[in-house]
């Protein structure tokens, strides 16, 4: 009997799941598993780093200066879901070596700015312009280093950042797309200033670098280079208390503060597998997890209300830290807004009225009802479904209420067509698509009014045109 019992125990140990993997297999599975989680958690800072590296390597722009586009954006700008109906300016800031940095926004006289200032996690520190803290009066926003204890001079809007790096995205609004209005918008935008607080008594002239002809590609790279970007941020920024659980997780993928990131060939293979799984996870959540803005609508919130709420609380809620939702959001967009719905509001659609993904070889129509609830303008933009950037090699990416030649229907509504060819007589109202690729849409409302949020004005779903041109 005793011999039988010993045999049974031995058999149990032999068949135990603990021996299902070799030590090498366990190490590989750990690397791959934690690489997936690093992708989901780290995508906001990788998104930031890719934009920063594009500026540093593709342009003459530098940190604590201003990079701008002197024309409305076209496909050469491959950032994630940008707005091609405004003049874009980006000021990457860093307080590590020079201390507090001033971002000076001019009063909304002769122009206006829709601006957002964020840290490296793209968490909003403040909005700027008429819908921001200065309320259109102009203001000196003061970006402070982590744990700053110095005196804050009067007349500044202090922004307490928990990271050294960050950036400001400033959009100079356009009255129209005419050359004169574009020039006027650029001239107004160049009244922006960036300089160290230490030189506030005699600020140096702000340097502006034009990137209009540069292929500025910061689309997410789902390969081993993802972790190089992540490592750059880990090495240059302090650990935030809420993220310390990732310290050991990242050691498993070769990222450790104070040490070089030098993965072995076998580890690179696991990192590649992990980043691809992370991509698939993000895409599946994006495809199925968007939240309709209207009941049973194909128009969705661009950012989950839960994520917006947590981000506006600086991710400091005791029982909420929506890392998964944040990862999905920053896989298709960039920048954070402090006051979502005040200066701008976005609706996204990835499927037509019938629930099918948008096919670039087909033709679609969106009828924008009259009396769009905005004080500034509305626009519709098409993006590449895979990269979430403007569709490459297209002559334009959007149509907006700023377009003077836009045709209106008798009731004031506007029909916008999307497809590889413009329907006859509809060129002014047409957004071109690539017939080899899928696409997605964003409808922007700048300075939205209460009719949008009360949903008394409803944007209908996009429909496929039965007879293709």
Q: Is the pLDDT of residue 18 over 70?
A: no
Q: What is the mean pLDDT of residues 273-295?
A: 96
Residue 401, helix vs strand vs coil: coil
Residue 167: inside a domain:
yes
Residue 121: give its domain's CATH number. 2.60.40.1610
Closest Cα to residue 448, out of 343, 300, 339? 343
Q: Is residue 428 part of a domain?
A: yes
Whether residues 200 and 241 share a domain: the answer is no
Q: Is residue 267 part of a domain?
A: yes
Residue 73 shares a structural domain with residue 43: no
Residue 241's CATH number: 1.10.3360.10
Count of structural domains within the chain: 3
Give 6's pLDDT tier (boundaries 50, 70, 90).
Answer: low
**What does the pLDDT average to over 2-10?**
51
Residues 168 and 305 in one domain: no
CB atoms within 10 A of CB 83: 22
Length of the chain: 469
Give the mean model confidence (pLDDT) for residues 39-65.
98
Co-location of 236 and 278 in the same domain: yes
Q: Are 329 and 445 contained in the same domain? A: yes
User: Residue 145 falls within a domain, yes or no?
Assistant: yes
Residue 3 falls inside a structural domain: no
Question: Angle at CA 102, nearest 5°, toward 315 and 96?
Answer: 65
Q: Are residues 356 and 450 in the same domain?
A: yes
As a dihedral over the C-alpha atoms of residue 382, residue 385, residue 390, residue 396, rounded to 10 degrees, the angle is -40
Kindly state whether residues 304 and 245 are assigned to the same domain: no
Average of per-residue pLDDT across 309-319: 90
Residues 294 and 349 in one domain: yes
User: Between residues 55 and 9, which one has the greater pLDDT?
Assistant: 55
Q: Do 233 and 142 share a structural domain?
A: no
Mean pLDDT, residues 33-46: 97
Whether residues 320 and 425 share a domain: the answer is yes
Domain end among 232, 257, 285? 285
pLDDT of residue 468: 65
Domain that holds residue 248: 23-51+220-285
Q: Domain for residue 12, yes or no?
A: no
The confidence score (pLDDT) of residue 26 equals: 87
User: Where does the pLDDT of residue 5 fall: very low under 50, low under 70, confident under 90, or very high at 90 and above?
Assistant: very low
Q: What beta strand segments (E) does 95-189 contain?
A: 101-105, 113-119, 124-128, 139-144, 156-160, 165-172
Q: Calculate the alpha carbon distances from 90 to 21, 87, 142 in Å.
A: 49, 10, 16
Domain boundary at 169, 192, 213, which? 213
Give first-to-last CA distance, the chain, whole Å. 85
Residue 60 vs residue 338, higher pLDDT: 60
* Mean of pLDDT over the chain: 94
Of 22-31, 126-135, 410-419, 423-432, where does mean pLDDT reach its minimum?
22-31
Nearest to 183 by CA among 170, 193, 174, 192: 174
Q: Which residue has the higher pLDDT, 319 or 7?
A: 319
Tens digits of residue pLDDT in 171-228? 999 999 999 999 999 999 999 999 999 999 999 999 999 999 999 999 999 999 999 9
Same domain, yes or no: 131 and 168: yes
pLDDT greater at residue 96 or residue 18? 96
User: Quick one: 348 and 334 in the same domain?
Assistant: yes
**Which of 167, 182, 213 finishes a domain?**
213
Strand-pairing partners, residue 116, are 127, 169
* Domain assignment present for 426: yes
DSSP H helices in 61-193: 179-189
Per-residue pLDDT of 368-427, as tens digits, reads 999 999 999 999 999 999 999 999 999 999 999 999 999 999 999 999 999 999 999 999
CATH code: domain of residue 295 = 2.60.120.600
In a domain, 2, yes or no: no
Name the pLDDT band for 20 (thresholds 50, 70, 90). confident
| Selection from 144, 109, 114 nearest residue 132 by Cα | 114
Q: Is the pLDDT of residue 12 over 90?
A: no
């Amino acid at each position: 009997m005793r011999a039988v019992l010993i045999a049974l125990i031995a058999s149990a140990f032999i068949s135990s799941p603990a021996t299902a993997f070799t030590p090498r297999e366990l190490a590989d599975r750990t690397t791959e598993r934690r690489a997936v989680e690093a992708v989901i958690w780290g995508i906001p800072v990788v998104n930031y780093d890719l934009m920063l590296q594009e500026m540093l390597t593709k342009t003459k722009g530098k940190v604590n200066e201003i990079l701008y586009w002197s024309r409305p954006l076209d496909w050469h700008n491959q950032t994630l879901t940008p707005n091609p109906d405004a003049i874009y300016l980006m000021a990457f800031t860093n307080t590590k070596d020079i201390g507090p940095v001033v971002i000076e926004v001019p009063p909304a006289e002769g122009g206006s700015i829709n601006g957002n200032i964020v840290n490296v996690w793209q968490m909003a520190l403040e909005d700027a312009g008429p819908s921001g803290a200065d309320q259109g009066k102009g203001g000196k926003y003061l970006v402070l280093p982590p744990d700053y204890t110095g005196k804050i001079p009067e007349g500044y809007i202090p922004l307490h950042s928990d990271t050294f790096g960050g950036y400001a995205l400033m959009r100079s609004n356009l009255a129209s797309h005419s050359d004169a209005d574009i020039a006027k918008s650029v001239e107004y935008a160049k009244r922006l200033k960036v300089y160290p607080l230490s030189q506030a008594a005699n600020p140096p002239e702000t340097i502006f670098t034009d990137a209009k002809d540069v292929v500025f590609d910061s689309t997410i790279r789902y390969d081993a280079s993802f972790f190089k970007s992540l490592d750059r941020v880990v090495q240059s920024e302090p650990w935030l208390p809420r993220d310390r659980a990732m310290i050991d997780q990242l050691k498993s993928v070769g990222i450790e503060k104070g040490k070089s990131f030098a993965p072995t060939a076998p580890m690179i293979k696991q990192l590649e597998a992990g980043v691809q799984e992370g991509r698939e996870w993000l895409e599946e959540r994006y495809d199925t997890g968007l939240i309709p803005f209207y009941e049973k609508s194909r128009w969705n919130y661009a950012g989950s209300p839960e994520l917006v709420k947590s981000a506006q609380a600086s991710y400091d809620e005791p029982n909420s830290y929506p890392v998964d939702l944040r990862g999905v959001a920053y896989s298709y967009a960039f920048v954070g807004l402090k006051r979502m719905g005040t200066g701008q509001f976005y609706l996204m659609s990835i499927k037509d009225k019938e629930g099918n993904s948008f096919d670039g070889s087909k033709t679609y129509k969106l009828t924008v009802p009259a009396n769009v609830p905005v004080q500034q303008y509305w626009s519709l933009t098409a993006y590449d479904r895979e990269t979430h950037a403007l569709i490459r090699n297209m002559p334009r990416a959007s149509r907006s209420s700023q377009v003077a030649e836009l045709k209106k229907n008798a009731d004031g509504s506007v029909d916008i067509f999307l497809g590889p060819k413009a329907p006859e007589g509809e060129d002014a109202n047409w957004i071109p698509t690539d017939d080899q690729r899928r696409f997605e849409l964003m409808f922007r409302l700048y300075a939205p009014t209460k009719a949008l949020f009360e949903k008394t004005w409803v944007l209908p779903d996009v429909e496929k045109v039965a007879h293709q041109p």
